[in-house]
Amino acid sequence: MSTRPSLRVTATDGQSLAVYTAGDPGRPTLVLVHGYPDNAAVWDALAADLAVDHHVVTYDVRGAGHSTAPDERSGYLLDQLADDLRFVTDAVSPDRPVHLVGHDWGSIQTWHAVTEPAHANRFASFTSISGPGLDHAGHWLRRAPDGVRNVLRQAVRSSYIGFFGTPGLPEAAWLSGVGGLALAGLERLGGGHRVPARRATRDYLNGLELYRANMLRRFTRPAERRTGVPVQALAPTHDAFMVDQVQSNAGRWADDFRFHRFQGGHWAVRSRPAPVARRVRAFVAEIESGEPRPVRNLTAGRARRHGGAFAGQVAVITGAGSGIGRCLAFELAERGARIVAVDLNGPAAERTAALCSLVTPGSAAQRVDVTDAAAMEKLAAWVRDAYGVPDMVVNNAGIGVAGPFLEASTEDLERVVDTNLWGVVNGVRAFAPMMVESGGGGRIVNTASAASYLPSRLYGAYSATKAAVLGLSRSLRGELAGRGVSVTAVCPGLIDTGIISNARLSGMGEVSSAKDRLNRLYRLRGYTPERAARRIADAVESDPEIVPVTAEAHIGLALSRLSPAAVRAYARLTPPL
């Protein structure tokens, strides 16, 4: 973008806003709104990318860059900032709604604009990066729908707000140089890219009024602010100032909402603009096509419970034709995800997808044998063409096998290894490269088992495959962490899924009676796949390494760490049949 303004826009109170433009005015117009303590230059790399096929507009918000600054604190109120955005919009695109992109405080003021009925018709879409609506954040802090722990995490990350609100102290810090050094360190932590050393002190000091004019009143008396403008929220994986949950919870306030993660820190819009450009470009193209994703209307109860952590995401689930895979597909669809249901049983996968589409339109089914590496590569290519890079891949397909290891046939051993281990390997190898290449932020979830750390004399082959899945998952988590893709292993325990009915048993007497006894044990345990799916979806949101589901899975994991001797003793016992 040019260092000199392309035009100036006069606000309602007479302030002069410096506006910069690039790209073809005949293309869809994108207006990018920067945060604190930045000016429009923070968008330069992203704007250059998007200007290839868009009309890109940036501007210095009041008090920053080449824009003038009000003398009174009231000049920084959100209502005034939203008016500024509308005036810029009218000047650069008087005849067509514009697409908005906001970062940090730019996102905060843009949320205010799109939730203002008088302005909303001027906006075609809104991409929010690292910035919630203050009213939305106020409700989130008061109600703690994602738990007190996440509220405390956010409170720690927002502790600087109290410092900014202290009269005279931050000004003294900036002028002494201490504040500038501290912020430079935070920017390196948040974005991996240091800001220019000689930033105008004026931008720092003026921007403090944003906090002082708005924070207290919005957090203590949050309003009910909703929008019909399509919104996507982008959350960097290593944001030093924001937790995912406060951003994803904004789905309660938007009729059409999507939430995506990408690798980077708070200032990734400058240091790693490619993943942001990819999401913005795809979102704008969808809206401009006139066929956006069907609006998802959560009931008030579901919205309060689930927020929007999976809204608008694409989840590929293998083994989705039955059991935990099917129930997890339903649960994620209920939370706003589009599901690609994969199963060797084609009709079962189609049934799962059809039911998911009743809740969140756009789900699909594919019949695929996960043991076939070429078929999994073909599936990945199809998903990329049809949906784009998925946000989540759940390698869940698996089979059961029980009985003494020495009495298992070679065929049974090969089958359980091919499905339970190679099925996961093939899924990871097919999808992980595209998830890394797209900029990270995605999740891989591999279904292991409590048997992976609780050996049993009757489940040797099964335990071996699940222990391998757990080991692979933990290793991949370390390998892919620096590339923005998280990996989680799920260890369910005794879930009444009907897996025993399809399991291969060897050396256990009459097979049918043994299966009846095992099925009875699972039914008596009474832990349903629906309950397991809810537990998995809740847990995966916080990106854990391992998700033990049932009580015995938790106890077994603790024993494996604290008392290996007890685990060895358990392995010698014959399970009750």
Identify the CATH number of the domain in which residue 196 sits.
3.40.50.1820
Report pTM. Answer: 0.88
Residue among 400, 394, 366, 398 nearest 381 (CA): 366
pLDDT at 403 over 50: yes
* Separation between Cα atoms, residue 141 and residue 134, nearest integer Å: 10
pLDDT at 465 over 90: yes
* Confidence (pLDDT) at 304: 39
Percent of the chain with pLDDT over 70: 86
Who contacts 325 (Cβ-Cβ below 8 Å, separation ≥6)?
A: 317, 318, 319, 341, 343, 352, 394, 396, 397
* Confidence (pLDDT) at 183: 58
* Confidence (pLDDT) at 572: 83
**Range with the lowest mean pLDDT among 404-418, 444-458, 495-509, 560-574?**
495-509
* Separation between Cα atoms, residue 114 and residue 98, nearest integer Å: 11
What's the mean pLDDT in 132-156?
Answer: 92
What's the mean pLDDT in 98-123?
Answer: 96
* Number of domains present in the structure of the chain: 2
**Are 395 and 452 in the same domain?**
yes
Tell me the Ramachandran region of residue 389: left when phi exceeds 0, alpha when psi lies from -120 to 50, beta otherwise. Answer: beta
pLDDT at 352 over 80: yes
**Are 140 and 249 in the same domain?**
yes
Q: Which of 20, 462, 522, 570 is catalytic?
A: 462
pLDDT at 407 over 90: no
303 within a domain of the structure (yes/no): no
**Range with the lowest mean pLDDT among 101-105, 174-178, 312-316?**
174-178
Of the CA atoms within 13 Å of residue 340, those in its CB half-sphere come to 26
What's the mean pLDDT in 207-232?
Answer: 94
pLDDT at 157 over 50: yes
DSSP 322-356: SHHHHHHHHHHHHTT-EEEEEESSHHHHHHHHHHH
* Separation between Cα atoms, residue 115 and residue 134, nearest integer Å: 11
Helical (H) or strand (E) element with 523: helix 511-525
* Confidence (pLDDT) at 459: 84
**Are 27 and 82 in the same domain?**
yes
* Confidence (pLDDT) at 542: 85
Please, which pLDDT band fits residue 302 given cuts at 50, 70 and 90?
Answer: very low
pLDDT at 453 over 50: yes
Residue among 107, 270, 283, 275 nearest 195 (CA): 270
**Are 123 and 223 in the same domain?**
yes
Amino acid, res. 42: V
**Are 177 and 251 in the same domain?**
yes
* Confidence (pLDDT) at 179: 59
196 within a domain of the structure (yes/no): yes
**Are 147 and 247 in the same domain?**
yes
Domain containing residue 528: CATH number: 3.40.50.720
Please, which pLDDT band fits residue 294 given cuts at 50, 70 and 90?
Answer: very low
* Confidence (pLDDT) at 201: 81
pLDDT tens figures, 5-36:
889 999 999 999 999 999 999 999 999 999 99
Please, which pLDDT band fits residue 200 given cuts at 50, 70 and 90?
Answer: low
Q: Which residue has better confidence, 520 or 510? A: 520
For the question of residue 462 being annotated catalytic, the response is yes
**Are 269 and 317 in the same domain?**
no
pLDDT at 305 over 60: no
* Confidence (pLDDT) at 306: 46
- Domain residues for the domain of 557 are 313-572
Tell me the three-class secondary structure of 443-501, residue by residue.
EEEEECCHHHCCCCCCCHHHHHHHHHHHHHHHHHHHHHHCCCCEEEEEECCCCCCCHHH
Please, which pLDDT band fits residue 517 given cuts at 50, 70 and 90?
Answer: low
Of the CA atoms within 13 Å of residue 392, those in its CB half-sphere come to 31
* Confidence (pLDDT) at 500: 52
Please, which pLDDT band fits residue 93 given cuts at 50, 70 and 90?
Answer: very high
